[in-house]
Amino acid sequence: MSLPLITDYDILEKLGVGSYASVYKARHKKQRTYHAIKYVEMSTLSQSSRDNLITEIRLLRDLNHKYIVTLQDFFWDDKNIYIVLEYCNAGNLSAFIRTKKALPEATCRYFLRQLAAAVQYMRANDVSHFDLKPQNLLLTRGANSVSLKVADFGFAQHLKLGEINQQLKGSPLYMAPEIVRKHQYDAKADLWSVGVILYECLFGKAPYSSRTIEELLLRIRKAEPITLPPNAHISNECHDLLRRLLVHESAQRISFDDFFGHPFLDLKTFPSEQTLKKAIDLVTQAVEYDEKHNYKEAYYLYCSALQYFVPLITEETDAKRRQALRNRSLNYMKRAEEIKNFIIEDEYKQLAERQLKAAKASAAQQAERLNCAAANDEQQPTTSSARMAEMLEPDIRYKQLFSLSHSSPSLKTGLEIGRKGELYLYERKLDAALESYTAALGILVPFVNNEPKGERRNLLLQQLEFWIKEAESIKSILSAKHLDEEEQKLSTVRSCSIQ
């Protein structure tokens, strides 16, 4: 096939070949801008390929989203059709995974949030892609970040949630089981593909990677259980989402609403026009509570604001605005930590005072012993976990709930793990505290879903609400810390490069 001759563009190199088109990198002669041009020879098109092409042009013309490749122009002559698309300068996600072998969970989450935002926009417009795979997720590298763009809408179509399709569409490795088995499926087929993409990002290969197409189709038809590779280490939230996406029966697969609302994605804090406003509103409230010495509410509000500021920093491409956002978030993070330390020290003080009163009311010998212990505690605010547990008694709610847990071993275990999280937090061990809270919630949230109405369920819901709030606050502080560490590393690399 000869190179296309297009008057306004210089054709530079071939980027790839699809089922009915070749894609070239091109530069506009006057504007000097780069584009990707999909070149289709009309004589090679079957009727179904013509239909797919028309659908792709129509959909891309109407879709306008940051994480969907932009259709910039299309035209034709007597032999060829030319589709001018946004040029993505960093290849595709498939090549990126091959280069890295597997991606850290944080990187997987970064790309998955962008993909989810695009899918959410498509669902709002009743569009299903039906060919989501790493090869169709293009990457664009900016000054500070890499963005993902959903491309190749050749199999896409308008399909309302619940409507059924019977045409065979997609790539077998990423194709939902209901397409392979029944040739009858709905929009939720895209969610299976998202699950396969997440699995491949995490572990370097798709869950049903096979030597032959026959072996692949057999594994899908048999509904072979999907397992994690040996020694795989992923968070409970990541594992939960992966498990719920890769469900063979479409009706039992996670819903779109639950997918978009899943805590691993946390799309509510995903950068948008409203995110900065939300962050500023939260900070304003935090400062008001701070000035009124309502430190607990101020702490939670500062941490909530960080949930919005950190993603904004990650997505910001302008260096000055990025630095300004970073400085603000660091100030709020430091103030949140100061407040938390103040709260902990205040509780130490109150405990010491209670111990002192108890000592005075006791016998002289016991009073002397307890007074010494209180004095030692004041001199050594950081104690061992055993001493901390002895010193910091749990609140009444926890005690009541624990007393009702003896008939339910899993409830008792979850409460004990959550209590460890509280003690780690008092020791300022944030990573250990978050790990304990996350483990506890992983046990207790499923438990409460099956718990009948009553006093124990009410107490458990209150305890869960408190621990979720604490875990989210710790996560916000840690994400701000990690971002600052990454920025410092980048600054070091840049300064070394300049020298």
Q: Which of 86, 118, 151 is the last residue of a domain?
A: 86
Report pLDDT digits (tens) over 70-115.
999 988 888 888 999 999 999 999 999 999 999 999 899 999 999 9
- 21 is a domain residue: yes
Number of Cα atoms under 13 Å in the Cβ half of residue 119: 30
Report pLDDT digits (tens) over 342-369.
888 877 777 667 666 766 666 555 555 5
Contact 306, 333 (CB under 8 A): yes
Q: Give the CATH number for residue 484.
A: 1.20.58.80
- 387 is a domain residue: no
Contact 65, 118 (CB under 8 A): yes
Shared domain for 206 and 290, answered yes or no, is no
Number of Cα atoms under 13 Å in the Cβ half of residue 177: 21
* Cα gap 417→196, rounded to integer Å: 32
Shared domain for 134 and 165, answered yes or no, is yes
**What is the per-residue pLDDT for 379?**
47
Shared domain for 162 and 32, answered yes or no, is no
Shared domain for 60 and 74, answered yes or no, is yes
- 3 is a domain residue: no
**How many domains, in total, are found in the chain?**
4
The single residue listed with the structure tokens 């410092």 is: 488
Q: Which of 82, 91, 94 is nearest to 41 (CA)?
A: 82
Q: Which of 235, 267, 299 is the last residue of a domain?
A: 267
Residue 43 burial (CB < 10 Å; 0-12/13-18/19+)?
exposed
Contact 126, 151 (CB under 8 A): no
Structural tokens at position 74: 């299309």
Shared domain for 298 and 334, answered yes or no, is yes
- 4 is a domain residue: no
The 3-state DSSP class for residue 222 equals: coil
Shared domain for 67 and 194, answered yes or no, is no
> Which residue range(s) make up the domain with 42?
9-86
In the chain, which residues have pLDDT < 70?
A: 1-5, 19, 143-144, 158-170, 351-352, 354-356, 358-392, 486-499
Contact 164, 184 (CB under 8 A): yes
Report pLDDT digits (tens) over 199-231.
999 999 999 988 888 899 899 899 999 999 988
Q: Which of 21, 52, 86 is the last residue of a domain?
A: 86
- Cβ within 8 Å of residue 134, ≥6 positions away: 92, 93, 94, 96, 97, 197, 200, 201
Shared domain for 454 and 410, answered yes or no, is yes
- 43 is a domain residue: yes
- 1 is a domain residue: no
**What is the per-residue pLDDT for 380?**
47
* Cα gap 425→457, rounded to integer Å: 25
* Cα gap 61→82, rounded to integer Å: 14
Contact 418, 471 (CB under 8 A): no
pTM of the model: 0.73
- 487 is a domain residue: yes
Catalytic positions: 131
Shared domain for 164 and 106, answered yes or no, is yes
The 3-state DSSP class for residue 140 equals: strand
